[in-house]
Chain A
């Protein structure tokens, strides 16, 4: 079993819709969870992080964490074509304070006009 798993997609949603991206992880000791966005040919950029159960909202983005189910998701409301990118879920596996992140394989999101 992979430590961090995401559906590779591609996930295609119409403009204005809600895009839902999912991620599961295997290590129950994981403490912090990150969502990065990566445009083609560019470096990953942080969208948001979450460390406690529940929802965390930032603009059009909402991260949801359920540690009991070992599940973290990212919702993008009012999706725009500019949101089309690969979304990487990253988990601080083992809960170390030195930030050893394990990444999922990424979900390709396409928002079509």
Chain B
């Protein structure tokens, strides 16, 4: 009954390699995200897709390319990995709702992928 899942959980690779991280959500949400959390634990958004359409693209190097084959999946491909790419990458999903408590777009996070570039 996992809500947001990511694979792999750990990824160790050499500089210059290309790697992919996969994310899937079974919450029926329309929007999915990729975040990067650096060694200082600062969590920063990279990309967001809504119904397979890219809606947020922060200042991320072109080596990072997200792909959303359907609204339940959002993958992240990274070319020519660099030492500075070492971090934990989190996928998240959300569904915008209006309720008595107010408008919300609560994001639910996956378990994270720890990427180490040697």
Residues of A participating in the B interface, judged by any CB pair closer than 8 Å? 31-32, 34, 38, 42-46, 49-52, 86, 88, 92, 97-103, 105-106
Contacts and interface: CB of A to CB of B under 8 A. Distances in A.
A86 B42 CA distance: 11
Contacts of A92: 105
B96 to A, nearest CB: 5
The interface size bin for chain B is 20 to 34
Contacts of A32: 102-105
A44 B112 CA distance: 10
A44 B90 contact: yes
A88 B45 CA distance: 14
Interface of B: 31, 33, 40-45, 48, 50, 55-56, 90, 94, 96, 101-112
Contacts of A88: 43
Given A44-B90, A100-B48, A102-B45, 7 more contacts: A38-B41, A42-B111, A43-B111, A44-B43, A52-B102, A88-B43, A97-B96
B103 to A, nearest CB: 6
Contacts of B102: 32, 49-52
B69 to A, nearest CB: 20
B56 A101 contact: no
B55 A44 contact: no
Contact of A44 (B45, B105, B109): B109
Nearest to A51: B102
A98 B96 contact: yes
9 contacts: A44-B43, A49-B102, A88-B43, A97-B103, A98-B55, A99-B33, A99-B96, A100-B45, A103-B42
